[in-house]
Amino acid sequence: MGNNDDRPTGLLSATELTVERRDTFAEILTIKDQAGIQLGSTRRAGTKLLRIVSEWTDFFPHRPIEVTDANGQPMLWIEQRGLLRRHIITVCRPDRTRIGKLVGKSWPGLRYTGYWVEIDGERIGEVLVEKHGEGSGERLVERNGYRIADTSGVELARIVTSKGEQRTRAVPHTTPRRTTLQASQQLSEPFARFALTVAIARHAD
């Protein structure tokens, strides 16, 4: 479209970033680069009542997520829907114009079976699910993630969520849950926005 929203910023050009929740009960997520510098944040739009209803039933859409950069400039508007059918995440520009969709590959439970990446009904890539663990015993860190690929199967980025370590005698604190996006090189549009959306949606679950 040629507007400023399509130009890469630090939030969209970073090859590695991490999504974390400010605290256990906060709705705000922070997005940082690999050096720990904050690149942006997210917040849930709408009322808390809608969110409570959304979490207990598939008949209502989830509250939209607004993504802003470190200066508070709106970058993305993310809408999720789960009306007893395929889970759909709609990715929009700040003015609500649609960029594309992440469409669940299957029906119930689809959020963990991956997505098709679509623009105007045309499939341009996919999000594949991966699951593995690190460590053993009490120190086990379960990691769940996605792998984003284009239609040729070429991997563009990986998104991994770590549940962190629970408090033990050896580790007197709890490591926070975090989701990390890693790409071998700067992602082009629109994959940069889709990848960021997947990382945020994965962590917000």
Of 21 and 95, more confident: 95
What tokens does 83 get? 């009306």
**What pLDDT does 4 receive?**
45
Neighbour count for residue 198 (Cβ, 10 Å): 24
Given this model, what pLDDT does residue 110 score?
Answer: 42
Which three-class secondary structure state does DSSP give residue 135? coil
What's the domain range around 146? 4-204
Alpha-carbon distances of 12 from 17, 157, 182, 199, rounded to whole Å: 10, 13, 12, 12
Structural domains of the chain, count:
1
**What would the pLDDT profile of 16-74 be if each residue is shown by its tens digit?**
999 998 765 567 899 999 899 999 999 887 655 555 544 444 455 567 899 999 999 99
Return the CATH number at 32: 2.40.160.200
SS3 letters for 148-167? Answer: EEECCCCEEEEEEEECCCCC
Q: What is the tens place of the pLDDT at every residue in 142-176?
A: 456 899 999 999 999 999 988 755 555 554 445 56
pLDDT the model gives residue 61:
57
What is the average per-residue pLDDT within 76-100?
Answer: 86
Torsion from C-alpha of 101, 104, 107, 108, nearest 10 degrees: -110
Who wins on pLDDT, 131 or 89? 89
CA distance to 6, 57, 161, per residue, from 158 (Å) = 22, 30, 10
> What pLDDT is stored for residue 172 in this prediction?
47
100-151 residue pLDDT tens? 999 988 765 445 678 999 999 999 999 998 865 555 444 444 456 899 999 9
Q: Which residue has the higher pLDDT, 49 or 179?
A: 179
> For residues 66 and 73, what is the distance between their CA atoms, to the nearest angstrom?
10
Cα–Cα distance measured from residue 170 to residue 151, given in angstroms and rounded to the nearest whole number: 45
57-81 burial, b for 16+ CB within 10 Å, e for fewer? eeebbbbbbbbbbbeeeebbbbbbb
* C-alpha angle 159-165-167 in degrees, rounded to nearest 5: 155
The pLDDT confidence band at residue 197, using thresholds 50, 70 and 90, is: very high
Q: Distance between CA atoms of 164 and 133, rounded to whole angstroms?
A: 11
